[in-house]
Amino acid sequence: MDNRLTPEQQDALIEDALNSYPLAPMPRSITADVMARIQADERPALVTWNDFAIALVIALTVGALFVAFQNLPPIALAKLRMQWILLYHGFILNARWLVPSIFFGAAALSAGLSIPPLLKNM
């Protein structure tokens, strides 16, 4: 396109070309060509080697925890259960301030994430 022409003149030339040139007939093999391109692509792997590595690490961790808990002495299991009960009761006692602080923190986080894009659109 000639850069000396104004954008309006360029648009007029393009419109004239679109209106005056005859339409070419659609090739008969267009569907086959398009489908050949679509089917030629390989499907991506649903499971990658990273997925296998992560699954192996998780399985080994669960297995190690299972073996460790099976081999703990009864005194250690009793102490672990006692610590769990203390943790649970500590949560219940502190829930009076913990639950509202979690909700207000979540509200502040969602406001912090949603208000700046809204202000940008104004």
Residue spans of the domains in the chain: they are: 7-40
* Beta-carbon-side half-sphere exposure of residue 49 (alpha carbons within 13 Å): 0
Other CB atoms within 10 Å distance of the CB of residue 98? 13
Residue 68 and residue 113: Cα distance in Å, rounded? 43
Per-residue pLDDT reduced to its tens digit, 46-104 = 888 899 999 999 999 999 999 988 898 989 989 999 999 999 888 888 778 878 888 99
pTM exceeding 0.75: no
Q: Supply 59's token pair.
A: 């399985």
Expressed in angstroms, the distance from the first to the final Cα of the chain is 38
Residue reference for tokens 């202000």? 119
Per-residue pLDDT reduced to its tens digit, 102-111 = 899 999 999 9
Residues 30 and 22 sit within 8 Å (Cβ to Cβ) = no
